[in-house]
């Protein structure tokens, strides 16, 4: 389905975690789940949206990585310094070698 040579971009996957703020509450911080993961990156579509009277560019990107990481929908992929919120992870049967992940850039993390 995919050629291993197509995985030619490095990405970092981070997960939001709760940490104590020292006063009985908590803060959310991003913790590295996987650093320098080889991925195939393919832009799917781009658009401009109006939020709070401002135009903002958003884009959907498909990342393909080797199967094996426990990726969740709340995780964030960083590629070329930009955060991409994971929007879709297909259900896996356990026999796949590669995992496609659709993620959106240009939205709040």
For residue 49, what pLDDT is reported? 63
Question: What are the beta bridge partners of residue 17?
Answer: 29
What span, in angstroms and rounded, lies between the C-alpha atoms of 40 and 5? 9
The predicted model gives 37-64 an average pLDDT of 82
pLDDT digits (tens, 9 = 90+) for 66-83: 988 889 999 999 999 999
pTM for this model (two decimals) = 0.81
Domains and CATH numbers, the chain: 4-105 (2.40.10.370)
Kindly report the backbone phi and psi dihedral angles of residue 36, in degrees, each rounded to the nearest multiple of 5, phi listed first.
Answer: 55, 50
- In 3-state terms the chain splits into helix, strand, coil percentages (rounded to 5) of 5, 65, 30
- Is the pLDDT score of 95 beyond 90? no
């Amino acid at each position: 389905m995919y050629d291993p040579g197509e995985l030619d971009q490095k990405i970092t996957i981070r997960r939001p975690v709760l940490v104590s703020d020292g006063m009985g509450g908590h803060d959310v911080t991003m913790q590295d789940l996987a650093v320098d993961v080889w991925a195939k990156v393919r832009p799917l579509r781009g658009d401009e949206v109006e939020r709070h009277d401002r135009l903002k560019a958003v884009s959907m990107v498909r990342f393909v990585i080797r199967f094996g990481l426990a990726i969740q929908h709340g995780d964030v992929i960083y590629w070329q310094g930009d955060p991409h919120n994971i929007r879709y992870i297909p259900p896996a049967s356990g026999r796949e070698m590669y995992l496609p992940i659709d993620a959106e850039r240009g939205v709040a993390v």
